[in-house]
A and B are shown apart, each in its own frame.
Chain A
Amino acid sequence: MSDTAQQQIVIVGAGHGGGAVAASLRQYGFKGGITVFGTEPIPPYQRPPLSKAWLKGEADAASLALRPPAFYDKADISLRLSTTVTAIDRTAKTVTTDSGETVGYDWLILATGARARRLPIPGMDLAGVLELRTAADADQLKAALGPGRKLAVVGGGYIGLEAAASALALGATATVIERESRVLARVASEALSHAYQTAHRKRGVTIELGAQVAALEGADGHVTGVRLGDGRLVPCDVALVGVGAVANVELARDAGIACDQGIIVDLAARTSDPAVFAVGDCTWRPLPHYGRDFRLESVPNALEQARQAAGAICGRAPAAPEVPWFWSDQFDLKLQIVGLPFGATHTVLRGDPATESFAVFHLADDNSLRAVEAVNMADAFMAGRLLISKGSQLAADKICDMSIAMKDLAQP
């Protein structure tokens, strides 16, 4: 590694990605200054539990922290919380903050994340209409849930379904309102969608499919219900709107850094400016296993890119690209997805969805494996991860044969 002691790194964003870049830089031996700016008032923390274990009360606030508070002092990482970076001057190599401060950098890392998509309907500003991105959002949601409370979820995506499952665990009721004809329509196969609809309904969640949301209605400034397009009202004490996220690209775009649906990066997480990296939900990144670019919203993606950026700065050899993966915990269902269905033309089912232990294998025309969606079937997920990274082909009659162990299926 070249001498890094005199170098200054500025990280914009103190979420999972920003925190991981800082930690990885120290782990890889970076000796210079590291300053992390975060808009939120708390040190980097894990967001996934906000709709899962934490919301159900199974994890405390301290356990959300990515690292214990003392870590940052010990690692000589300067955390500048409640401070938003408002502009980048790439010529002067400085950033400006909302407190008017100007800070110089040798390397800049953008970990600006994504924000919840807002619906262009009346009533979004009523009290009790929430989104779920931050710990502060989650505090509000948790405070509003409890025995006898009614949660309405607008959007049948992962966050909405996880929140509905957690709400039931807290004794509340939940109605999920989805515009498409199935939940998880944008992100999962039909078989998976149907299994999750069945599982949620069986455990007491109400699901409205093909339902437009016309407005959020309220009394005295507080939400009281969700008005559907067909005129029906879903009464609620609290409404969670989870209809996707938009990458926070404005800071980069305003500085002239190339952006698409996210900040465009290469496999070292480098942007169009060689001194600027970007990691996590805010990036538009290559997917080498799929021959295309895409935006991923996931912790594993943020961590992989954090290692890429820190590795590039510290002069390490690039690691082999990972196959994207995702997980979701709802009730006693552990969903693990590896890969993306790009190029897949058919699916093969392993196991019986009725048993709530099954996997959907997505294959291309030549039977090469593109993705696996595994519910309570960890070996199918792990085998899939291996097989996709190797570009392996799989015979359909073997995938669905439960007498063949996944371990044997994965051995060519």
Chain B
Amino acid sequence: MPQVTFIEHNGTAHTVEAELGKSLMEAAVGNAVPGIDADCGGACACATCHVFVEPEWEAKTGARTEAESAMLNFAAEVKPNSRLSCQIPVTAELEGLVVRMPEGQH
């Protein structure tokens, strides 16, 4: 299982094992990473699993979907490398992935 790292806004890093085929959001929630709320459970309905993908990983995590983009346009602190982690499937290619989290999801 690929290891991925979530870095909280305060700098605290959490490296967890992410199950292949699940979403990045599920890896965070399953390992109790604080800062990923995921209120809707992965339905791309709430924008509370917002992360910033480190630039060198953007190609491997793929592009935003249209609905995801529409949601992110209104999220707090949105940046060009913003993604909803429920829309990023975990693949073997993501071994070593690093994402950062915004100050809050609400």
List residues of A whose CB falls within 8 A of some B CB.
Answer: 23, 26-27, 46, 48-49, 63, 67-68, 71, 74-75, 299-300, 303, 319, 322, 325, 327, 329, 334, 336, 376-379, 382-383, 385-386, 406-407, 410
Query: Can you give 26 contacting A-B residue pairs, CB < 8 Å?
Result: A26-B32, A27-B34, A48-B43, A67-B30, A74-B32, A299-B41, A300-B39, A300-B46, A322-B106, A327-B46, A329-B43, A334-B43, A376-B67, A377-B70, A378-B71, A379-B73, A382-B47, A382-B71, A382-B73, A385-B74, A386-B74, A406-B70, A406-B73, A407-B73, A407-B74, A410-B74
Contacts of B39 in A (CB 8 A): 299-300, 303
| Residue B94 is within 8 A (CB to CB) of chain A in the complex | no
* Interchain CB contact (< 8 A) of A71 among B22, B26, B32: B32
Contact with A along B60-77 (1 / 0, CB 8 A): 000000010011011100
Question: In the complex, what distance in Å separates the CA atom of A376 from the CA atom of B66?
Answer: 10
Given A27-B34, A67-B32, A379-B40 contact (CB < 8 Å):
no
* Interchain CB contact (< 8 A) of A334 among B26, B41, B67: B67
List residues of B whose CB falls within 8 A of some A CB.
Answer: 22, 26, 29-30, 32, 34, 37, 39-41, 43-47, 67, 70-71, 73-75, 106
Residue of A nearest to B73 (CB): A407
Residue of B nearest to A336 (CB): B45
Question: In the complex, what distance in Å separates the CA atom of A406 from the CA atom of B41?
Answer: 25
Q: Are A327 and B32 in contact (CB under 8 A)?
A: no
Residue of B nearest to A329 (CB): B43
Question: In the complex, what distance in Å separates the CA atom of A329 from the CA atom of B34?
Answer: 27
Contacts of B70 in A (CB 8 A): 377-379, 382, 406
Q: Are A23 and B32 in contact (CB under 8 A)?
A: yes
Question: In the complex, what distance in Å separates the CA atom of A63 from the CA atom of B67?
Answer: 22
| Chain A binding surface, main DSSP class | helix
Contacts of B22 in A (CB 8 A): 63
Within the complex, what minimum Cβ distance (angstroms) separates B98 from chain A? 22
Contacts of A23 in B (CB 8 A): 32
Residue of A nearest to B32 (CB): A71
Within the complex, what minimum Cβ distance (angstroms) separates B1 from chain A? 13
Q: Are A303 and B37 in contact (CB under 8 A)?
A: yes
Given A67-B30, A68-B30, A319-B106, A327-B43 contact (CB < 8 Å):
yes
Given A23-B32, A67-B29, A383-B46 contact (CB < 8 Å):
no
Can you name 12 extra interface pairs (CB under 8 A) apart from A48-B40, A48-B41, A385-B74?
A48-B43, A68-B30, A74-B32, A303-B37, A325-B46, A377-B70, A378-B71, A382-B47, A382-B70, A383-B74, A386-B74, A406-B70
Question: In the complex, what distance in Å separates the CA atom of A7 from the CA atom of B68?
Answer: 42
Contacts of A377 in B (CB 8 A): 70
Contacts of B71 in A (CB 8 A): 378-379, 382
Contacts of B30 in A (CB 8 A): 67-68, 71
Within the complex, what minimum Cβ distance (angstroms) separates B62 from chain A? 18
The 10 closest A-B pairs by CB, nearest first: A382-B74, A378-B70, A327-B45, A379-B70, A46-B41, A68-B30, A378-B67, A378-B71, A27-B34, A303-B39
Contacts of B47 in A (CB 8 A): 382
Q: Are B74 and A299 in contact (CB under 8 A)?
A: no
Question: In the complex, what distance in Å separates the CA atom of A385 from the CA atom of B48?
Answer: 13
Contacts of B41 in A (CB 8 A): 46, 48-49, 299
Given A299-B39, A300-B39, A334-B45 contact (CB < 8 Å):
yes
Question: In the complex, what distance in Å separates the CA atom of A325 from the CA atom of B45?
Answer: 10
Contacts of A71 in B (CB 8 A): 30, 32
Contacts of A327 in B (CB 8 A): 40, 43, 45-46
Q: Are B32 and A379 in contact (CB under 8 A)?
A: no
Question: In the complex, what distance in Å separates the CA atom of A23 from the CA atom of B106?
Answer: 17
Question: In the complex, what distance in Å separates the CA atom of A336 from the CA atom of B32?
Answer: 27
Residue of B nearest to A407 (CB): B73
Contacts of A334 in B (CB 8 A): 43-45, 67
Within the complex, what minimum Cβ distance (angstroms) separates B39 from chain A? 5
Contacts of A48 in B (CB 8 A): 40-41, 43
Within the complex, what minimum Cβ distance (angstroms) separates A170 from chain B? 20
Contacts of A74 in B (CB 8 A): 32
Residue of B nearest to A300 (CB): B39
Residue of B nearest to A52 (CB): B43
Contacts of B40 in A (CB 8 A): 48, 299-300, 327
Contacts of B26 in A (CB 8 A): 63
Counting chain A CB atoms within 10 Å of each CB, the highest count among B32, B47, B71 belongs to B32
Contacts of A329 in B (CB 8 A): 43
